[in-house]
Structure 1
Amino acid sequence: MSTAMVRVVGAVLVIGGGIAGIQAALEVADQGFKVYLVERSGSIGGVMARLDKTFPTNDCSMCIESPKMVEVGRHPNISVIPNGEVISVSGREGRFTVRIVRRNLYVDDRACVGCIDICASVCPIELPSEHEFMIGGRKAIYIPFPQAVPLVAKIDTDHCIGCRFCEAACERDAIDYFRGDIEEELEVGSIIVASGIEPFDPSAIPEYGYGLLENVITAPQYERLLSPAGPTEGRILRPSDGKVPEKVAWIQCVGSRDDEYPCCSSVCCMYATKEAMATSGERYIFYIDLRSYGKAFEIFYREAKKIGVRYIRGRPGIILQDRDKNPIIRFEDTDTGEVSELKVDLVVLSVGLRPSATNPGLSRVLGISLNEYGFFNPKDLLHPLETDREGIYICGSATGPKDIPDSVTEATGAATRAILPIIQARGREIPRKARIKERVVSPGDPPRVGVFVCSCGVNIGGVLDVKGLVEYAKTLPGVVFAREETFACSDDVQSRIKDSIIIYDLNRVVVAACTPRTHEPLFQRTCEEVGLNPYLFEMANIREHCSWVHMHDRELAQRKAEDIIRMAVSKVRLARPGHRIKMPVEKRALVLGAGVSGMRAALDIADAGIEVYLVERESEPGGILRRIQKLHDGTMVSDFLPDLIKAVKSHPKIHLMTGCTVKEVNGFVGGFKVRIEGKENEEVDVGACIVATGIRELEPHGYYRYGEDPRVVTQSEFEELIERGERWGRVVMIQCVGSRNHERPYCSRICCINAIKNAITIMRDNPEGEVYILYQDIMTYAKWEYLYREAMELGVIFIRYSPEKPPVVGDNLRVEVYDTLLGEELQIEPDLVVLSAAMIPSEGADEVARIFKLPVYQDGFLLEAHVKLRPLDTAFDGVFICGGAHYPKLISEAIAQGSGAAARACSILSRDEIETGGITSVVDEEVCIGCGLCDLCQFNALEIREKPQGRKAYINPVACKGCGCCQAACPVGAIRELNFTSRQIEAMIRESFNAEEAQEA
């Protein structure tokens, strides 16, 4: 029975509240569906909420995740169910019945306001904190962390002694020892599993001494030491004596890539590099293969080496300690062959990531299978987000360890897959919520400014006197209220800001905290929720612009912070309400590039009932897959690519345009005009665009006699030879040809897996043959480590070479290579040399970037809006990227990104209208002289129009991004940008100069 024959439920259950679960919930909810987000702990946030920074940008992890957590908590379409467990699932796709139990609800979440200081202060039980990875403490009644969502206390019933001191102390009668567990039943149409990961417990490896040697800790514990919100407020202290360590060593692959768990945990090399970069003194990283396979990872690794992080290739055998409890690492340096000892002050074990302990139970309840490692099984390589039960989808680390952007991408794609079967029920389960009427703030009303100064744990408070800044803010003209907050972005502070706006009748708000890039929308929405226009809000960045850059001169930092706050208050006093413009959405999409990622995106959008123009410059769709015979899991491309192409060609909502290119794009989100040239020139109107222009293999002329000797080929050319049935006695493969060098300082991600796949193929066909793979580091990340092992078992010989001394291919095809493991120069006389050439952007990608006005990263691939949390978005609203346009990736990853980009596009195309930003420029036509000097707009928002009174500039408020270039260029002051007026800027400058004069006086 199909879903069309039953009443489909327009609701989705998301299991797991880590970053993948958060992203999936937001994507589904934003497209008009009800979401139930079930999290087994007391708060959403997952592992990301416990990190200090994120690589490769070193963004504060909690600072970029917290606004998303608050957004989930306040979203009208999302119900967060903490302390929840799914105990049964019945029914089928379109209409599941789910039973959920909420455990140990001895605290009433309707009454608790998170004032943990009262109840926890009277609790006599001290326990190690799970949030701090057991190196910090908590009470038996506790809140997981200050920014928790929901911000509700939780009682640890396993350790509570029933003294009921907390119950007596609670002023809101929120504690009830007779509540216990609560069961409820939900009806949903689809289910998304985002169960996450857990760090490996290294006490199972006694030779490393974890739990026995005090100064051996895990990398997750080190994250909490680094965190300003951690138990040591960001100071790295040795557990044994509290001293600052001068020598720190990291040991990689602890609990991964071994016989018990032959899987790579994907992120350990980079998180160790990140931690080392945040540490002063001598730093050592012991590694097997440095896996810098992700976007910007290789550059990040090189930066670490530049600042003195020393990488030692070798896996230590044992850790001892001296009388002063200094760890002594005994190891073999496999680059030199020497057995050595290194005494350090602290050892950090880079532990592997294991599946969530809930997976076996969920597997039974949901009726979906696990793989041999304990992660959930995708349906197959071509359906990476689907399971073997229709209507249930998986994403993030539920399928295996992965980086944050990969988790976010998969979650976004899983949202698309979960919505499609219930698309006809959009909006059916959504409660109606009345919008709060906006307060009228007239130009003549005296400013009543509220200033909230965030200490950000010790990010700000560790350098600045926050209380002093609050008292200073109270003296500023127009300020009627000021207060210090520990974490201004947390859910409880948002509530306090809203209360303060009402109680003190505030008509302007300033938050002095961190970057507006990630936090301004959060505070603007907070103001909106109590009827205050969001453009009467201003952020003062006293972290990135002050405490972080002046931490060694606190007096200077304090003066500068006062300047920043004073200037923000001066600007917001002159602010005027702004209003977004509503515009109809053109319910069509453009997908540029018909490779596997573009085709997946087009099909998902079309299946949602939206018309798609799929433009491909080649004569046939398929992209780079047309040059590949077999995938790394053994799937033959011929078994699925023709069917995929047929699905695209036959879909009634898809217009496939081959042999065509996009020549011009004008307009804005919701209303782009695209000029397409090809067999027939056409102009189409679309509401969103997806760039999926793919990758191509570098033709490595100038490398290893390629193009000079026909016996030197690339991997894709080699696959064609294999397909023709050719055989060789001896083959040499050379990795990193044209990549991981000065010209292309990035890893092409897929080359090692591709080379090993081909090596396995020829060794199976000819067991008597010889295959040599010459490599720098083997990049078989995640579960693909098994390919590496299989190749070695089949007899493939791996030879490591140094990039400082690469292999040489002679005139007679003799290959000379220095084996760093053996410490010997080797000579091989192969029948064929195969080059694993760099993957580079597709032909014409630079022109596409220019047409769409998209920034390009230094590796040549398109730059996303935010490397971690917006990996599919671009700087241009309504334009998204996926597949090889973003970065080289495996087919399953490209497919997931295609579905993810489709979800991002549908978040626009599913609406009847969209709202544009309120910060735009306007022209005073009485002043404008029509000189045209202002026509510098990079977004085509400005044009010169002929009017009865002469030539006048016109700015399209929808296309305008508020950059201010036109205002700066206008010689007569005819252009004004809302809330960035010349009067406001002059007030800020005047206040700054007045402060300097006062200081001098």
Structure 2
Amino acid sequence: MLKRALVIGGGIAGIQASLDLAEAGTEVFLVERRPSIGGRMAQLDKTFPTNDCAMCILSPKLVEVSKHPNIHLLTHAELLDLEGEAPNFTARIRKHPRYVNEAKCTGCGVCTTKCPVRLPDPHNKGLSKTRCIRIPFPQAVPAVPIIEASHCLYLTRGKCGVCKKLCQADAIDYEQKPEDLALQVGAVVLALGSEEFEATLKDEYGYRTFPNVVTSIELERLLSASGPTQGHVVRPSDNKEPSRVAFIQCVGSRDMQVGNDYCSAICCMQAAKDAIILTEHLHGVESTVFCMDVRAYGKGFDRFVERAKAEHDVRFLRARVSSVEAEPETEDLVVRYNREDGSLTEESFDLLVLSVGMCASDAVRQTVRRLRLKTDDCGFVTTSAFHPLESSRRGVFVCGTASGPKDIPESVIQASGASSAVLALLGGFEPRRVSVERATPIDLRGEPTRIGVFVCRCGINIASTVDVPAVVEYASTLPKVVHAQEFLFACAKDSQKTIAEAIKEKRLTRVVVAACTPRTHEPLFQGTLEACGLNRYLFEFANIREHCSWVHQRAPEKATQKARELVRAAVAKAARLEPLERSKLPVNHSALVIGGGVAGLTATLDLAAQGYPVHLVEGDAELGGHLRKVRRTLSGECTDEFLKNLIAQVQCNDRITVHLGKTVESVTGYVGNFKTQLTGDATPIEHGVVIVATGAKERAPHEYLYGHDRRVMTQTDFEAFLADGHAREIAKLKAVVMIQCVGSREPDHPYCSRICCGTAIKNALHLKALNSKARVYVLCRDVRVYGLNERWYRQAREKGVVFLRYDEATKPHVSAENGRLLVRAKDDILGRTLALDADLLVLSAGIEPHEDNRALSQHLKVPLDADGFFLEAHVKLRPVDFATEGVFVCGLAHYPKDIAESIAQAHAAASRAATVLNKSEIEAEGKVAAVDVTRCSGCGACVAVCAYKALDLDPVFRVALVNEATCKGCGTCAATCRAGAIDLKGFRNEQILDAVNAI
């Protein structure tokens, strides 16, 4: 069976799928129709809800793809056909000419500066000009130019040829022709992405008519340091800074007039993010968001929106904009809109941003047709709730926005999940020894210390506050520094190449990088050192973004001085750095999955299908978890048979051992070699990875007469009532009232439980199907059915379900009067309080984490968030990983989500686990504790304080011993040792003291 996969699409979903497959030992062909990978994320300025620089977190991924030995990158290429059946496909690929030889090109960029032909820059959405021969953006991978053949003077008229004359590498090739390839692959991952809605189709908003009307992606480019204005936000008409900015939501989404009956899922949060970022670029700017609902349904989203309102005075108005006109003299924009009460109002703004939705592009539709896949009416690939990553063709899996609108974490989760599905299809694993190509280590004995300092502008993330050239100039004067240089983006591939060249040419023995956070970027730079023969630990990072530019935005001089001092301290420490060794650790190829709900069951079956033994631990007496209480999906699929089949597959699989009625008592060990003791068992389970899938629970309401009147129930109770054959009682129902956000979006639970609106609509539709005459009222703050689920919201309205809004200050009031159940709610449109006589009151109770999450988090040494859910390593790019290596999370334990999302995340957790389990050995961290046995008194204080059980006392010599595999390098033991017998490698006393004394 072919251990090869084809990934179509080089956006963040395609990148993640490729990396996961490659790390699991699969050969990958990554095909991207554009000249470079990165997709839509490469055009963003920041990402919500953390406001991380998009390119800062994406660029290391781009470089990783380009360097991975298992990934073959085919850019400016497209799929022509897919023949055969899984797992024996033949993919026919056409690689279009870029008229530059990729093997010869050095990426110097000289050709891009001399071309006489200017064109609108597609990366900047036409807001600036670029050359006919261009590198798409500064961090592009591959960093190879492309010639736009239809505009090239030589290719169209036989004239010019200046780029070929200038190219010293002889890389320009005007004779290039399309190249057709036939690739034998076992499976396909479709990660085509989407494109933004064409805003000119909504001519009432004046896009392309009025210059100060821009789209959301154009605003991203204006905000970006690598954008047309280098991050200085100005109006296109007169280059003046706007003081009043308006955002119009749902442009091309939730709009039957243009045929898009879905929500684009990201627009509300993107508008909130951009409004916040605008205040950082333009002091005193006022932002208004015109919206129908604020769909802040994701992890951390509600807090982000509330922060926009409270700290940045962003105004959210529930209103539909009817028209936009421009004032002739000022070109300001007059926006006319209807308020919720029906009144017509107008306001003037300097800049208008259209939050355009996602659409399936013509190129996407064409590729899908060639793959012969089923799609919906809007061109999105059809999947199902129980199989969210499977297309209609066996062996072709789909992820990201190809199957519907979604944000970055959901795309990354689906990408990892699709990788797991591929691994399961392609069969059993073969333990492999990781062979990383490294240069011959440089012998530094007798060599003088020669330090290179590289300072990153990070676009304007750093350079807008810190005087980077001044920091570079200062660094060059420091002792033992022989080279100092600045980069626009130090993490870009061409910058890594420049650093490598400097190491070789200047014979550097230590490297200091002053940039953003080492949490995401340190491994990238360490890899560059290793590729040059330098030990990866002869590297020091100075964080001048978080510690300088971000926290001292209003004090640039002080921020610059602080940056100088941080660089001086880093250089002082770097001079003391020593090469460290990393020990090799064997990997146990078994997995432990904690939680037997749909997420745990799915992850277990995935890993078993890939050939790994799995231990599944469930605290209850039966499997099924929260899904046992769910009777159907929003699309009407029954869960009962699906769950029974899932459980049966687990129970009859020889690779799976189920432990019912058990909980985790203790966990010891480290990635690749864990030992877990279960309650009541004599022998611990040995395993290489852990997947946390412990689920969550429905909150028991304390309001609205719940528990005091049998007519008041939760949505879970109501769902069971509808499904369990109460036909006579259902037929008698005249009015059912539902109240949303019960226990969610409140001070005690300041988050959206994500699934409640969808559950209410699902149950309302089911009731209408059983009793069409029953009146259904849904009292809500916002209706948060995102993505393709918007269609069910529209159907509910068509069926007569009435949605009435309330706000937090005017919650509904429920009373039992003379045998009647009365719900009083203020209607903002009518301007009066309504009294609803209800036969049943159904409460959409929020989802809350289990109380025992804290104990499990302590056993596994993984964090919880402020709400008690498990906290992932990075909200955008590592949504199923923990910071603790070898431990992963999925399902409701991570955050509330629906069945399809839980299943997708379970697949993703299995994929990430497989990147560990498929290896025969892994390398331990080099920065671990070391004991000077000549000074150790054997007091045992270090043993007592070590949270990771990494120290023990030698029973014969009574000195402390360190288990380097278990040690996490936290330094607690070194701080505790009264004799000073313990040092932390990479943080020895003299290294730290030199750094401190340098400040």
TM exceeds 0.5?
yes
The one-letter amino acid of 1:72's match is: V
Normalised to the residue count of structure 1, the TM-score between the two structures is 0.96
Residues 9, 425 of structure 1: CA spacing in aligned structure 2 closer, same or farther, 3 A cutoff? farther
Matches within 5 A, 1:763-842: 763-812=768-817, 813-842=821-850
Distance 1:810 1:551, change over 3 A: closer
Structure 1 residue 39 displacement after superposition: 0.6
Contact 1:936 1:965 in 2 (8 A): no
Please list the CA deviations of residues 899-936 of structure 1 after superposition, one character each: whole Å capped at 9, or x if unmatched: 11011111111111111111111111221223333346
Match of 2:938 among 925, 930, 941: 930
Q: What's the offset of the Cα at 1:760?
A: 0.3
Q: Which residue of 1 aligns with 2:698?
A: 697
Q: What does residue range 681-692 of structure 1 map to in structure 2 within 5 Å?
A: 681-692=682-693
| Paired residue secondary structure (2:180) | strand
Match 1:164 to one of 150, 161, 166: 161
Specify the code of the residue in structure 2 equivalent to 1:547.
Answer: S
Decide which moves more: 198-207 or 957-966: 957-966
Deviation at 1:948, TM superposition (A): 3.2
Counterpart amino acid of residue 892 in structure 1 = A
Q: Percent identity?
A: 45
Take 2:467 and 2:869, find their aligned partners in 1: how far apart are those partners? 43
Contact 2:22–2:71 (8 Å) recurs in 1: yes
Task: Tell whether 2:711 aligns with 1:711.
Answer: yes
Instruction: Tell me by how many angstroms 1:496 deviates.
Output: 1.6
Aligned-pair distance for 1:93?
0.9
2:440 maps to what in 1? 437
For the Cα contact (< 8 Å) 1:756–1:787, is it kept in 2? yes
SS in 2 for 1:610: coil
Counterpart residue number, 1:850: 858
Q: CA deviation at 1:239?
A: 0.9
Q: Secondary structure of the residue that 1:314 maps to in structure 2?
A: strand
Cα distance in 2 for partners of 1:759, 1:551 equals: 50
Q: Look up the equivalent residue of 1:633 and give its one-letter code.
A: S
Task: Tell me if structure 1 keeps the 8 A contact 2:696–2:849.
Answer: yes
Q: CA deviation at 1:87?
A: 0.7
Decide which of 126, 137, 142 is 1:134's aligned counterpart: 126
SS in 2 for 1:421: helix
SS of 1:398's equivalent in the other structure is helix
CA apart distance, 1:120: 2.1
User: Aligned pair in 2 of structure 1 residues 936, 404: CA closer, same or farther (>3 Å)?
Assistant: farther
Change (3 A) 1:235 1:435: closer
* Residue 333 of structure 2, aligned match among 323, 327, 330: 327
Tell me which residue corresponds to 1:873.
Answer: 881
TM-score, length-scaled by structure 2: 0.96
Contact 1:941–1:955, Cα closer than 8 Å, also in 2: no
Q: CA deviation at 1:434?
A: 5.0
2:993 pairs, out of 958, 971, 986, with: 986
Paired with 2:472 and 2:808, the residues of 1 have a C-alpha distance of 55
Match of 2:309 in 1: 305
- Partner residue of 1:241 out of 238, 242, 256: 238
Specify the alignment match of 1:861 in structure 2: 869
CA displacement at 1:310 relative to structure 2 = 0.7
Selected match of 2:579 from 552, 577, 580: 577
Shift of 1:433: 7.1
Mapped to 1, the partners of 2:770 and 2:244 lie a distance apart of 51
Q: Counterpart of 1:208 in structure 2: which amino acid? A: Y
Query: Are positions 1:153 and 2:154 aligned together?
Result: no
How has the CA–CA distance of structure 1 residues 843 and 722 changed in structure 2, closer, same or farther, with 3 Å as cutoff?
farther
- CA–CA distance in structure 1, aligned partners of residues 664 and 235 of structure 2: 59
Letter in 2 for 1:310: R
Specify the alignment match of 1:295 in structure 2.
299
SS at match of 1:238: coil
Q: Offset at 1:115?
A: 2.0
State the distance in 1 between where 2:946 and 2:633 align.
42
2:368 maps to amino acid = S
Partner amino acid for 1:174?
A
Counterpart code for 2:725: G
Equivalent residue, structure 2, for 1:4: none
CA distance in 1, matches of 2:965, 2:665: 22
Kept in 1: contact 2:431–2:920 (CA 8 A): no
Structure 1 residue 432, shift from structure 2 partner: 7.7
* Rounded Cα–Cα distance in structure 2 between residues aligned with 1:330 and 1:831: 42
Provide the rounded CA distance (Å) in 1 between the counterparts of 2:769 and 2:719.
15
Q: Deviations over 1:65-103 (max 9, x none)?
A: 000100000111111111011112112212211111111
The Cα of 1:375 is off from its aligned counterpart by: 1.1
Aligned to 2:8: 15
* 2:427–2:609 contact (8 Å) kept in structure 1: no
Where do 1:191-210 residues align within 5 Å? 191-210=188-207
What is the letter of the counterpart of residue 337 of structure 2? Answer: F
The one-letter code of the counterpart of 1:165 is V
CA-CA distance at 1:937 after TM superposition: 4.7
* Stretch moving more, 85-94 or 44-53: 85-94
Match of 1:529 in 2: 531
Task: Name the counterpart of 2:503.
Answer: 501
Please identify, of 770-779 and 455-464, the stretch whose mean Cα deviation from structure 2 is larger. Answer: 455-464
Where does residue 343 of structure 2 map in the other structure?
Answer: 338
**Mapped pair 1:221 → 2:218:** yes
Shift in Å, 1:460: 2.7
Q: How does 1:443-462 map to 2 (within 5 A)?
A: 445-462=447-464
SS at match of 1:274: helix
**What aligned pairs does 1:217-296 form with structure 2 within 5 A after superposition?**
217-259=214-256, 260-280=259-279, 281-296=285-300
User: Is the partner of 1:300 in helix, strand or coil?
Assistant: helix
Distance 1:803 1:458 in 2: 39
Deviations 1:192-213 (A, max 9, x none): 0100111111111111000001
Equivalent position to 1:95, from 68, 77, 88? 88
**Unpaired stretches in structure 1, ≥5 consecutive residues:** 1-7, 993-1001
Letter of the structure 1 residue corresponding to residue 391 of structure 2:
T
**Aligned residue type for 2:480:** G
Aligned-partner Cα distance in 1 for 2:50–2:651 = 41
Residue 104 of structure 2 is matched in structure 1 by 111
List aligned pairs for 1:647-662, cutoff 5 A.
Answer: 647-662=649-664
- Output aligned runs, 1:26-37, within 5 Å: 26-37=19-30
- Is 1:72–2:78 an aligned residue pair? no
User: 1:522-566, CA deviations, whole angstroms, 9 ceiling, x for partnerless residues?
Assistant: 000011111111000111222222233334333323322221111
2:894 corresponds to 1:890: no
Which residue identity does 1:588 align to in structure 2?
A: S
Quick one: distance in 2 between partners of 1:756 and 1:911? Answer: 46
> For the structure 1 residues 189 and 913, does the alpha-carbon distance in structure 2 shift closer, same or farther, using more than 3 Å as the test?
same
Post-superposition offset of 1:955: 2.4
Letter in 1 for 2:273: K
* Structure 1: distance between partners of 2:107 and 2:375: 38
Tell me whether 1:368 sits opposite 2:373 in the alignment. yes
Deviation at 1:586, TM superposition (A): 1.2
Q: Which moved more, 1:846-855 or 1:97-106?
A: 846-855
SS in 2 for 1:341: strand
Offset from partner CA, 1:134-170 (integer Å, 9 cap, x none): 2122111100001000000001112222232222222
The counterpart of 2:176, out of the listed 176, 179, 200, is 179
Q: Secondary structure at the match of 1:470?
A: helix
Distance 1:475 1:823, change over 3 A: same
CA contact (8 A) 1:939 1:959 kept: no
For structure 2, the residue ranges without an aligned partner over 5 or more in a row are 155-159, 280-284
Equivalent position amino acid for 2:173 in 1: D
Aligned equivalents of 1:914 and 1:955: distance in 2? 18
Using the TM superposition, give the Cα deviation of residue 632 of structure 1 relative to its aligned residue in structure 2, in angstroms: 1.0
- Could you tell me how far apart the structure 1 residues matched to 2:179 and 2:971 are? 55
Alpha-carbon distance, 1:667 to partner = 1.1
Separation of aligned partners in 2, 1:548 and 1:715: 44
- Matched to 1:351, the amino acid is V
In the TM superposition, what is the alpha-carbon distance from 1:984 to its structure 2 partner? 0.6
The answer to whether the 8 A contact 1:865-1:871 is kept is yes
What amino acid sits opposite 2:724 in the alignment? R
The range that moved more, 278-287 or 444-453, is 444-453
CA RMSD of aligned residues (A): 1.6
